[in-house]
Chains A and B, each alone.
Chain A
Amino acid sequence: MSLARRGQVCVSLILRIIILQSLHLLPIICRYLSQTWLIIFAVSKLLINLQLFLTYFQHWGTFARIWHVYDAKWQDPYKSAEMLKHYLLGTNKPIYHPLNNCGDHVVVINSKEIALRGDEWQKRVYFHHTTYHGGATWTLAWELHSKDPTLIVEKAVYRALPKNLQRRHNMQRLHIFPDEKIPEDMLKNISNQIKQLRDVPVRLNHIPKTEIDSFPQLLRYPKNHILK
Chain B
Amino acid sequence: MVFLSLSLLTRARGPDEFWRKRKIFKLAAHFFARRRNCYSVAIRGVHRALTYSTIGRKLKKKDMKELQEQRLEAATSEHGLNFWILMEGLTRCNILLNRKSLTDLAIWEPRSFKAITDIACARAKQDHLKTKLNIQVPKSVISRGLIK
A residues neighboring B (CB under 8 Å): 1-4, 86, 91-98
Q: Kindly specify which of B19-27, B33-41, B105-113, B140-148 makes contact with the partner chain.
A: B105-113
Return the chain B residue nearest A90 by Cβ.
Answer: B74
B residues 55-114 touching A (CB-CB < 8 Å): 67, 70-75, 77-79, 103, 106-107, 110-111, 114
Given contacts A1-B78, A2-B78, contact A91 B70 (CB under 8 A): yes
Least CB distance from B109 to A in Å reads 10
Interface size on B, residues (CB 8 A): 16
Residues of chain A contacted by B70 (CB below 8 angstroms): 91, 96
Alpha-carbon distance between A116 and B106 when the two chains are bound, in angstroms: 38
Least CB distance from B108 to A in Å reads 9
Given contacts A1-B78, A2-B78, contact A95 B110 (CB under 8 A): no
Given contacts A2-B78, A92-B74, contact A97 B110 (CB under 8 A): no
Alpha-carbon distance between A2 and B110 when the two chains are bound, in angstroms: 8
Pairwise interchain contact A92-B77, C-beta atoms closer than 8 A: yes
By secondary structure, the B interface counts as helix
3 closest cross-chain pairs (CB), A and B: A3-B110, A94-B75, A94-B106
Least CB distance from A156 to B in Å reads 22
Pairwise interchain contact B71-A4, C-beta atoms closer than 8 A: no
Least CB distance from A185 to B in Å reads 29
Pairwise interchain contact B74-A94, C-beta atoms closer than 8 A: yes
Residues of chain A contacted by B71 (CB below 8 angstroms): 94-96
Pairwise interchain contact B106-A97, C-beta atoms closer than 8 A: no
Q: Give 6 new A-B contacts, CB below 8 A, not counting A86-B74, A94-B71, A95-B107.
A: A2-B78, A2-B110, A92-B74, A93-B74, A94-B74, A97-B67
Pairwise interchain contact A94-B107, C-beta atoms closer than 8 A: yes
Return the chain B residue nearest A3 by Cβ.
Answer: B110
Pairwise interchain contact A91-B74, C-beta atoms closer than 8 A: yes
Alpha-carbon distance between A6 and B110 when the two chains are bound, in angstroms: 12
Pairwise interchain contact A96-B74, C-beta atoms closer than 8 A: yes
Alpha-carbon distance between A3 and B78 when the two chains are bound, in angstroms: 9
Residues of chain B contacted by A91 (CB below 8 angstroms): 70, 73-74
Least CB distance from A9 to B in Å reads 15
Return the chain B residue nearest A95 by Cβ.
Answer: B107
Residues of chain B contacted by A93 (CB below 8 angstroms): 74
Least CB distance from B113 to A in Å reads 8
Residues of chain B contacted by A97 (CB below 8 angstroms): 67
Least CB distance from A196 to B in Å reads 16
Alpha-carbon distance between A2 and B71 when the two chains are bound, in angstroms: 13
Residues of chain A contacted by B114 (CB below 8 angstroms): 2
Alpha-carbon distance between A94 and B78 when the two chains are bound, in angstroms: 9
Alpha-carbon distance between A95 and B111 when the two chains are bound, in angstroms: 15
Alpha-carbon distance between A1 and B74 when the two chains are bound, in angstroms: 11
Of A3, A86, A92, A98, the most chain B CB neighbours within 10 A belong to: A3
